[in-house]
Structure 1
Amino acid sequence: MKLDVLATPGHLITMAARGFVRLSEARLKPLGFGVGYLPALVALRDGLAGSQRDLARIVRIEQPSMAQMMARMERDGLIRRTPDPADGRSSRVALTDAALARLPDACAALFQGNRDALDGFSDEEAAQFLALLDRLIANLDRLATGGTTAEHA
């Protein structure tokens, strides 16, 4: 059996991720959003986060990357930062009215893009695909922290 690097899960998932990013960026840009913004903005909207540290943990990116993203979101008028009364060294982060007004359309565009990308998948296939991706991500998280996959434990 010849091993084909272009047929590996890592490569195929990378290609799919790039396709999703291109699709999402094209649909979100007219609304004033970057695709990377949405998880953070939804976390703020839903009250799951209120600080840069919270957002970095939820979105699963490093603090410096989150700081850069927050600077862009603030520049774009999507968030505002205010001093944290409990900790003078940090800020509280909140959505602006403009972000709140445009976020539903952005989420709808993202969901429609996902539905379009899964065109031809049955509901059962789509659910199985998502479950498999969740399992894959859990395996990768375990491996990244020095653990093993369940199969090899």
Structure 2
Amino acid sequence: MPQLSLHSPLGPLTLTEEDGAIISLDWGWGRDQTETPLLCQARDWLDAWFDTPKGQFPFALAPFGTAYQKKVWDALLRIPASETRTYAQIAAEVGGSPRSVGQAVGRNPVPILIPCHRVVAASGLGGYSGDGGVDDKVWLLELEGASLPR
């Protein structure tokens, strides 16, 4: 599977493509670097997004996951930039419990592009699986102009 890495304000990130769609975004620099048209376009979009976060990722996403995980991830794509939702709100939308939503959010293989940073706990921020943990979540929410939960 072709991969392409980029430098970002959160550190190095690696995009992976399969069958014309992005299947993962990982923290760290990938071993193999292949400049496919999709990966170059996705890299350039992310570079621009980190400067001015607007718009939804315009390229195909095909993350691997269960039907329930994909349902949760689809709900995350509907959260507008600069807004947040709680795990309970997402659970009410897709069915399931806040805990099952949290597990699906934590297994999101395409963070940032599927904006799992926009999901917060009822009592505050909750966790984040990026390399910088909650600090990355705060940084992304502030970049988008979201009000941070207290």
Tell whether the structures are fold-level matches, with TM greater than 0.5.
no
Structure 1 or 2: more strand by fraction? 2
| Bigger Rg, which one | 1
TM-score normalized by structure 2? 0.30
TM-score normalized by structure 1? 0.30
